[in-house]
């Protein structure tokens, strides 16, 4: 028993390590990619398209990741998500032709998310029923480092060594994360520690409407964050006149704040309700993005980024936890991957594309107000989700 516990802890540490390296690698590239593309004289609309192609890759990669993990085990998607992702990042330095940028943007996007669905599913599966949001928040906290630890070094590298070095360093970090695979050489078996009846076992087909609504909420929630990630760098450098290092600092503070808030947000969600947390998170995001649309002060942008981080911490942990309430056991990674691929990543892709065209046609303020509208639509759908799920919960609790 003790040996099994040590093996399980070793696997969790290995998974956490490779997820951490992947998050740092993403953080180095993500806020600097729009600036790199701008340095190549691409217009904002083209910048949005290239970035959105990586989001399209994320849609495909994360949707498939859970299916692969549930059928073949976690090792294969984790291997591709570390080693192959690092090689794809090196490809950005092979040339600056638009076709090459689009190709490697797609490969990077599809490979870097292969581990997210399986890891989220693993966390949801081993968590006790009354602490599921807390467990999921741990992986969310690590992923938040993709806007934290990597962002500031990415800005420093860009300002002092040039943008090409961003891809060399980020690729090396992703490959280094592959060392975590040593602890999970054998297929990871999910824990059966929590075998109590759950409402998700009552009638899985009856939850399809809830799953569809949750995906729509994810689209609007992540359209909001995509506008923050893609166009705050342009707001900083083109409108406010700050350096890439300063942009990196904005995202470092934002990512660290999201990381700090994630686990407390999960604890709160387990206590007061996950849908309440989602609504509160979207309200905070809408407030932050509404003010960013008019503020042009560096320190205000940092502060509003912290408010946005709190909102996303509430939103992200609650959304995945709601999924775990009704998805059949043994298929969590599949459905969490589908939610991430179709919901989160399509929202990220739409935000990048729509934001670029709005930036050029209606201006800077309108770009960030689009995120406010998206949050508002997400809040409306949260109330609809509650109405859909209440009858299912009542039926599941009948003797």
- Is residue 392's pLDDT more than 90? no
**347 within 8 A of 206, measured Cβ to Cβ:** no
Secondary structure (3-state) at 211? helix
What is the mean pLDDT of the segment spanning 318-338? 75
Q: What pLDDT does residue 4 have?
A: 54
Q: What pLDDT does residue 130 have?
A: 62
Rounded CA separation 256/236 (Å): 19
Question: Would you state the structure tokens that stand for residue 362, as one six-digit string?
Answer: 């209606």
Q: If pLDDT is split at 50, 70 and 90, which confidence band does 398 have?
A: very low
Q: What pLDDT does residue 171 have?
A: 92
278-308 residue pLDDT tens: 899 999 999 999 999 999 999 999 999 999 9
Q: What is the DSSP letter of 190?
A: P
Please provide the DSSP assignment of 212-268 as one string.
HHHHHHHHHHHHHHHHHHHHHHHIIIIII---HHHHHHHHHHHHHHHHHHHHHHHHH
Instruction: Name, in order, each residue with C-beta under 8 angstroms of 275's C-beta and a sequence gap of 6 or more.
Output: 318, 322, 382, 385, 386, 389
Q: What pLDDT does residue 396 have?
A: 45
- Is residue 399's pLDDT more than 50? no
Domains of the chain: 2-182+203-393 (1.20.1250.20)
Q: Which residue has the higher pLDDT, 181 or 128?
A: 181
Q: Which residue has the higher pLDDT, 237 or 379?
A: 379
What is the mean pLDDT of the segment spanning 162-175? 91
26-63 residue pLDDT tens: 888 877 888 888 888 888 778 878 888 887 888 888 88
Q: Which of left, alpha, beta for 127 (phi over 0: left; psi -120 to 50: alpha)?
A: beta
Q: What pLDDT does residue 3 have?
A: 55
**151 within 8 A of 29, measured Cβ to Cβ:** no
* Cα 395–chain centre separation: 33
- The pTM assigned to this predicted structure is 0.75
- Is residue 123's pLDDT more than 80? no
Q: What pLDDT does residue 270 have?
A: 77
Rounded CA separation 255/164 (Å): 23
Q: What pLDDT does residue 54 have?
A: 85
Q: Which residue has the higher pLDDT, 374 or 196?
A: 374
Q: Which residue has the higher pLDDT, 254 or 394?
A: 254
What is the mean pLDDT of the segment spanning 373-388? 91
Q: What pLDDT does residue 257 have?
A: 86
With 0-12 CB in 10 A as exposed, 13-18 as middle and 19+ as buried, what is 8? middle
Q: If pLDDT is split at 50, 70 and 90, which confidence band does 190 have?
A: very low
62-114 residue pLDDT tens: 888 878 887 877 788 888 888 898 999 998 988 888 889 999 999 998 888 88
Rounded CA separation 379/389 (Å): 16
Average pLDDT, whole number, for the chain? 81
């Amino acid at each position: 028993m003790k040996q099994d516990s040590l093996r399980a802890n070793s696997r969790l540490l290995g998974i956490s390590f490779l997820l951490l390296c992947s998050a740092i690698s993403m953080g180095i590239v993500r806020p600097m990619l729009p600036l790199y593309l701008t340095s190549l004289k691409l217009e904002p609309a083209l910048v949005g398209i290239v970035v959105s192609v990586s989001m399209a890759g994320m849609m495909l990669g994360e949707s498939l990741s859970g299916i692969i993990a549930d059928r073949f085990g976690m090792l294969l998607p984790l291997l591709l998500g570390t080693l192959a992702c690092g090689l794809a990042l090196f490809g950005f330095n092979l040339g600056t032709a638009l076709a090459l940028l689009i190709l490697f943007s797609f490969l990077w996007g599809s490979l870097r998310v292969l581990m997210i669905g399986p890891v989220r599913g693993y966390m949801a599966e081993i968590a006790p029923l009354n602490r599921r949001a807390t467990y999921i928040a741990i992986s969310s906290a690590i992923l938040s480092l993709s806007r934290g630890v990597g962002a500031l070094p990415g800005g420093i590298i860009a300002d002092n060594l040039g943008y090409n070095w961003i891809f060399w360093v980020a690729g090396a970090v992703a490959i280094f994360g592959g060392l975590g695979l040593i602890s999970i050489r054998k297929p990871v078996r999910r824990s059966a520690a929590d075998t109590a009846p759950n409402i998700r076992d009552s009638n899985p087909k009856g939850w399809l409407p809830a799953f569809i609504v949750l995906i729509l909420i994810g689209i609007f929630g992540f359209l909001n964050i995509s506008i923050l990630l893609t166009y705050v760098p342009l707001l900083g450098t083109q409108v406010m006149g700050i350096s890439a290092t300063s942009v990196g600092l904005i995202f470092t503070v934002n990512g660290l704040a999201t990381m700090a808030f994630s686990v407390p947000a999960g604890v709160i969600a387990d206590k007061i309700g996950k849908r309440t947390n989602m609504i509160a998170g979207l309200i905070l995001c809408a407030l932050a993005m509404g003010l960013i649309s008019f503020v042009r002060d560096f320190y205000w942008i940092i502060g509003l980024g912290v408010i946005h981080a709190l909102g996303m911490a509430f939103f992200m942990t609650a959304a995945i936890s709601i999924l775990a309430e009704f998805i059949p056991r043994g298929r969590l990674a599949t459905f969490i991957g589908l939610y991430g691929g179709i919901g989160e990543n399509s929202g990220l892709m739409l935000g990048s594309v729509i934001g670029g065209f709005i930036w050029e046609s209606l201006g800077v303020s309108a770009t960030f107000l689009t995120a406010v509208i998206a949050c508002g639509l997400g809040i409306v759908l949260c109330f609809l989700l509650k109405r859909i799920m209440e009858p299912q919960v009542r039926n599941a609790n009948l003797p």
